[in-house]
Amino acid sequence: MHSYAAAHHKTIMAVDIAGYNDPKRTTAHRLVVHEGFWKLMRTAFADAGIPWDALFRENTGDGVMIHLPTEVAKADLVAELPERMLAELRRYNEVHADEANVRLRVALHAGEVYQGSHGTISDANSFAFRLLDATAVKDALKASKAVLALVVSNTFYQDVVRADPAADASSYRRIPIENKETKTEAWLRLLGAVTNGFPVAVPASPAAPDFPALVEALLAVLCVRKADSRQLLLELFPRREIADLVPHHAEDRLHVIALARTCLRFDGGLQDLLDTVRTIEPESPQVKALAAIIGQWPGRPAW
């Protein structure tokens, strides 16, 4: 029999006020920020229908760690809460000086948590904060005009974000996480920028100059153009996080466009597509033409 209490599976939210100790903030500014932060958090949770008093909270000084009870649906944390937090951040920042403005980093993860006599003990807690404090997350928020950076673990993205259309899975971008001994991948969404979403260095939409040529080159390849062999291509695709995200369209061109757009969201996605095409249709003239276009595609996003 164990001498310590059993662990319980918890949904973990870690929140940090970006630049809380920035030298431009005086003590008076930090007092305003501190009060404003807790008020906007309570309001956002209430607006999302999540009872604040039901949450386990640990004040981290410049943020908070929250454990959510099982009756709170994980999907609500990505489908409802981010927009509510964004609304409250905008309301707060509109009426406060720049030195007292608030930008937040939020991390979501889930795992086993032990309750100690002076707080919680959990590898999952530590992992959530490694996501929150990762350089890639900090740099992305700093480089953007967003006010809220939401980073979720890969398992949380696969199990929760992708499962609910309201979570807007397409607005997330996969990023590398390297923080202390943690080296992994996570998914990041930025909210509150001039154009909502994740700023990327490379255009990745049909409006990009090379995109129509890419689509035509894909359609020229027989195994891509035909619906049955295109399905086989998706089944053989080496990275399920790409293949499983491709929206289905009955019309061939639309499905190929969706395939190309999805691959462009991932570092190395086009190369993975080309490698899979070569598995089915080795080095035909059409495949060689496709390889030439992919080889000339603009540089990858800098994350």
Residue among 50, 28, 36 at smallest CA distance from 88 = 36
CB 256 within 8 A of CB 184: no
234-243 long-range contacts (CB < 8 A, ≥24 apart) are 234/259, 236/276, 236/279, 236/280, 237/272, 237/273, 237/276, 238/272, 238/275, 238/276, 239/266, 239/269, 239/272, 241/154, 241/158, 241/174, 241/266, 242/266, 242/269, 242/272
DSSP letters spanning 19-88: TTT-TT--HHHHHHHHHHHHHHHHHHHHHTT--GGGSEEEE-SSEEEEEE-TTS-HHHHHHTHHHHHHHH
| Residue reference for tokens 């608030």 | 102
Q: Average the pLDDT over 266-272 and give the result.
A: 87
Q: Averaging pLDDT over each range in 86-95, 108-117, 201-210, 261-270, which range is the top one? A: 86-95
Composition of the chain by helix, strand, coil, percent to 5: 50, 20, 35
Q: What is the pLDDT of residue 114?
A: 67
Residue 13, CA distances (Å) to 37, 198, 257 in order: 15, 21, 36
Q: Average the pLDDT over 213-239 and give the result.
A: 92
Burial of 259 (0-12, 13-18, 19+ CB in 10 A): buried
User: Quick one: pLDDT band at residue 4, thresholds 50, 70, 90?
Assistant: low
> Is residue 233 within a helix (H) or strand (E), and if so which, with residue range?
helix 227-236
Structural domain spans, the chain: 8-191, 211-295
263: tokens are 């691959």
Round to whole Å and give the CA distance between 64 and 40. 13
Percent of the chain with pLDDT over 90: 44
Q: What is the pLDDT of residue 79?
A: 87
Q: What is the pLDDT of residue 118?
A: 59
Query: Which of 110-114, 205-209, 242-246 has the weakest average pLDDT?
Result: 205-209
Round to whole Å and give the CA distance between 276 and 98. 50
- How many C-beta atoms surround the C-beta of residue 52 within 10 A? 14
**pLDDT, tens digit (0-9, with 9 covering 90-100), for 25-55:** 999 999 999 999 999 999 999 888 888 888 8
Q: Average the pLDDT over 132-153 and give the result.
A: 91
Residue 8 vs residue 159, higher pLDDT: 159
Asked if pLDDT for residue 232 goes beyond 90, the answer is yes
Q: What is the pLDDT of residue 1?
A: 47
Asked if pLDDT for residue 108 goes beyond 90, the answer is yes
Query: How many C-alpha atoms does 51 have within 13 Å on its Cβ side?
Result: 6
In our burial notation (b when 16+ CB lie closer than 10 A, e otherwise), range 173-200 reads bbbebebeeeeeebbbbbbbeeeebbee
CATH architecture of 8-191: 2-Layer Sandwich (3.30)
Q: Averaging pLDDT over each range in 81-90, 118-127, 185-194, which range is the top one? A: 81-90
**pLDDT, tens digit (0-9, with 9 covering 90-100), for 170-207:** 889 989 888 888 788 999 999 987 544 444 333 333 33
Asked if pLDDT for residue 21 goes beyond 80, the answer is yes
Q: Average the pLDDT over 260-265 and give the result.
A: 85
Task: List the beta strands (DSSP E) in the chain.
Answer: 8-17, 56-59, 63-68, 104-116, 119-121, 148-153, 173-179, 182-191
Q: Average the pLDDT over 209-234 and give the result.
A: 88
Can you give the pTM of this predicted structure? 0.63
Q: For CA atoms 251, 254, 256, 259, give the dihedral sign.
A: negative
Residue 125 vs residue 226, higher pLDDT: 226
